[in-house]
Structure 1
């Protein structure tokens, strides 16, 4: 994938976000980081046979960061969020039936939300980080699941829910990064941007 002509003459400290997610842009704004260009990565996100959730999440973020081919000295930030029930990778739900199945699996149990991020440096180095958050849902009634499905929030969401929406009312316990469950762990993202040389440690 390449940037369009509008980004051809990029400044030396250009940051490209390899994601179309408005949530990730909003979360970056919380640490005063505004991407100069949005370049969604178009890659095959099918898990490999037997691939476990953690290595899958790391691989996805790295492949998304590597998918943007640039000639300019740019930083590329990519991320991927995976919801895992045990060793099972739950899908980014595209149909109501998929979302229903995910919510039935998650009802009343703990699950892991793994958000991997990767920064591709101007010299080609890939720096990676991973947030692992444990989320426990209350036991969901049939009517609660039906009401949630009616919101449409589940569309395209890992595990069939969005914690920044109505599904937050289902969360009984959360241990880890709330922003990571939303799609971009801010602690890890800021640390990687500092390690990559894009940010100074004093930048707020």
Structure 2
């Protein structure tokens, strides 16, 4: 399968399921005006797929594109620009629940399938020291909401529903 994304976590997840993965980054525009995170993530996943199809018109393998966005108290939260913003994002989640929206688009057998999924994540009470300790892992870089569940980020989480 082709993963049209630079996400090492998504690649590792697919490979752990026995899928052989070829990675192609799309580099498409991820700006949008959408306020509904489910719609926004599916829109961005479909945009990434269209970008891949435009630059690779001849391909036979299935192509998967994804996007993830966090929603917290009505605000959409993406990837942090720097460590200070990552600290601020994780401080919002400290001892609270937030929504993780994952949009996906799959080209398979000449058809496009797409959708969005939701998980509600409850964070442990971390405090400033716990957050700073996690930031030392640098897993926050390039991660929506400043954390990844595939690594040390799982230690931030108390519960996941969805």
Q: TM-score, normalised by structure 2?
A: 0.89
- Which residue of 137, 144, 152 maps to 1:166? 152
Q: Which runs of structure 2 are paired with 1:63-78 in the superposition (5 Å)? A: 63-69=47-53, 70-78=57-65
- Which residue of 22, 31, 37 maps to 1:46? 31
Residue 122 of structure 1 deviates from its aligned partner by 4.7
- Which residue of 68, 74, 83 maps to 1:81? 68
| Structure 2, gaps ≥5 residues long | none
Residue 86 of structure 1 deviates from its aligned partner by 3.0
**CA-based RMSD:** 1.6
- Larger-gyration structure (1/2): 1
Does residue 91 of the first structure (1) align with residue 78 of the second (2)? yes
Residue by residue over 1:76-99, the C-alpha shift from the partner in whole angstroms, topping out at 9 and shown as x without a partner, is 111111111132111211301110
Residues 38 and 117 in structure 2, CA contact (< 8 A), matched pair in contact too: no
Give the count of matched residue pairs. 159
Residues 52 and 88 in structure 1, CA contact (< 8 A), matched pair in contact too: no
| Structure 1, gaps ≥5 residues long | 1-14, 177-204
Residue 149 of structure 1 deviates from its aligned partner by 1.7
